[in-house]
């Protein structure tokens, strides 16, 4: 599929891209090449292929959630540099 300069300008506007006229010719050629590659991929028979969600072969190692020992709020706040009732007091981040 050939991308013309008008189509490129429309896509650039929608994607909020800015480039000069000198780059427009290269961008048009690159986008045409990408679309040609996608069209070639559409020719591949994938009926018996399961979809994948990641390109990595790693799998998450999950553990069971278990209830353990935890600090009550008094012990947790005991060493706080500043506290306000039952909460840590921290410097303001946003104005």
Predicted local distance difference test score (pLDDT) of residue 71 = 77
Q: Tell me which residue of 39, 30, 27 sits closest to 1, measured CA to CA.
A: 39
User: What's the pTM?
Assistant: 0.48
Q: What is the pLDDT of residues 22-62, one digit of tens each?
A: 888 899 999 999 999 999 988 999 899 888 877 888 888 89
Distances (CA, A) of 30 to 2, 4, 5, 6, 47: 10, 12, 12, 15, 30
Q: What is the pLDDT of residues 49-95, one digit of tens each?
A: 888 877 888 888 899 989 888 877 778 888 888 888 888 888 888 87
Predicted local distance difference test score (pLDDT) of residue 70 = 80
Phi-psi region of 36 (alpha: psi -120 to 50; beta: other; left: phi over 0): alpha
Boundaries of every domain in the chain: 5-38
Predicted local distance difference test score (pLDDT) of residue 60 = 84
User: What secondary structure does DSSP assign to 41-73, as a single string?
Assistant: HHTS--TT----S-S-----------------H
């Amino acid at each position: 599929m050939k991308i013309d300069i008008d189509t490129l300008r429309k896509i650039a506007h929608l994607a909020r891209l800015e480039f000069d006229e000198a780059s427009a010719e290269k961008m048009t050629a690159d986008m045409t090449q990408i679309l040609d590659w996608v069209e070639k991929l559409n020719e591949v028979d994938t009926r018996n292929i399961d979809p994948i969600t990641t390109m990595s072969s790693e799998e998450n190692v999950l553990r069971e959630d278990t209830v353990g020992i935890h600090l009550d709020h008094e012990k947790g706040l005991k060493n706080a540099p500043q506290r306000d009732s039952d909460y840590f007091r921290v410097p303001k981040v946003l104005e």
